[in-house]
Amino acid sequence: MKFFVDTANIDEIRDLADTGLLDGVTTNPSLIAKTGRNFLNVVAEICEVVKGPVSAEVAATDFETMLAEGRKLAGIADNIAVKVPLTRDGLKTCKVLSEGGTMVNVTLCFSANQAILAAKAGATFISPFVGRLDDLATDGMGLIDDICQIYANYPNFTTEVLVASVRSPMHIVDAARIGAHVATVPPAVLWSLFNHPLTDKGLAAFLSDWEKTGQSIL
């Protein structure tokens, strides 16, 4: 399973990249707005830190402008995945960019039928938003299960399922159990994956016993 971090904060991205466990980054207009920085500069900086796919979202909603924006974003670095919304124009843009060899992440997916369209449009990633479905008392992880099963029926679908709107470690465990390819996760949730109180307790006991031996390894 690949881990992407869902943030545009370069310091948080650097910290997580240091772990060696980060496979990519996703951004969106809301995350860019939080940084208060220039979009194109931030994205270029992120692409220098992380060599895996870095999603950068178009702002237009019509095909011609989305395509022009997508091409400009793709020109920033080889590891850009242009993010387009799951609309008619978005999928049209996805098809053209994908055929031209650009990675495309189709975002704001809330149904299996939308995911089928994205795969047919050649998306590199489909981003179903599990947390936002859960917020409406709809089973977000059930959608991930449906999409993974549907894609597995068609070997010519190469689109990877990128679980988005992740809110908790349980979302990640459930997505991994289903076999989703990628989860994009807020930094705090990614860091929380390391934690277990029994690890802390066990380590404290080992260290205290080791000290009693008076030995040193180096």
Residues identified as active-site: 83
Instruction: Choose between 98 and 184: whose C-beta lies nearer to ligand G3P.
Output: 184
Q: How far is the CB of 84 from ligand G3P (least distance, A)?
A: 14
Contact between 32 and ligand G3P per CB under 6 A: no
Contact between 164 and ligand G3P per CB under 6 A: yes
Smallest Cα–Cα separation from 58: which of 91, 85, 86?
85
Contact between 165 and ligand G3P per CB under 6 A: yes
> How far out from the chain centre does Cα 138 lie?
21
Contact between 26 and ligand G3P per CB under 6 A: yes
Contact between 110 and ligand G3P per CB under 6 A: no
Q: How far is the CB of 200 from ligand G3P (least distance, A)?
A: 28
Smallest Cα–Cα separation from 178: which of 154, 143, 153?
143
C-beta atoms surrounding 60 within 10 Å: 16
Out of 49, 52, 131, 148, name the contact with ligand G3P by CB under 6 A.
Answer: 131
Distance of alpha carbon 170 from alpha carbon 24, whole angstroms: 20
What is the total count of residues that contact ligand G3P (CB under 6 A)? 9
Q: How far is the CB of 8 from ligand G3P (least distance, A)?
A: 10
Identify how many contiguous H helices and E strands the chain contains and give both numbers.
11, 8
Out of 132, 134, 169, 191, name the contact with ligand G3P by CB under 6 A.
Answer: 132
Smallest Cα–Cα separation from 118: which of 81, 168, 169, 69?
81
Q: How far is the CB of 108 from ligand G3P (least distance, A)?
A: 9
Three-state DSSP class for 103? strand
Contact between 187 and ligand G3P per CB under 6 A: no
What are phi and psi for residue 26, nearest 5 degrees?
-120, 140
Name 100's Cβ contacts closer than 8 Å, sequence gap at least 6: none
Q: How far is the CB of 34 from ligand G3P (least distance, A)?
A: 10
- For the segment 167-186, give every residue that binds ligand G3P (CB under 6 A): 184
8 Å CB contact between 187 and 16: yes
Contact between 28 and ligand G3P per CB under 6 A: yes
DSSP class of residue 168? Answer: S
Residues that bind ligand G3P (CB under 6 A): 6, 26, 28, 129, 131-132, 164-165, 184
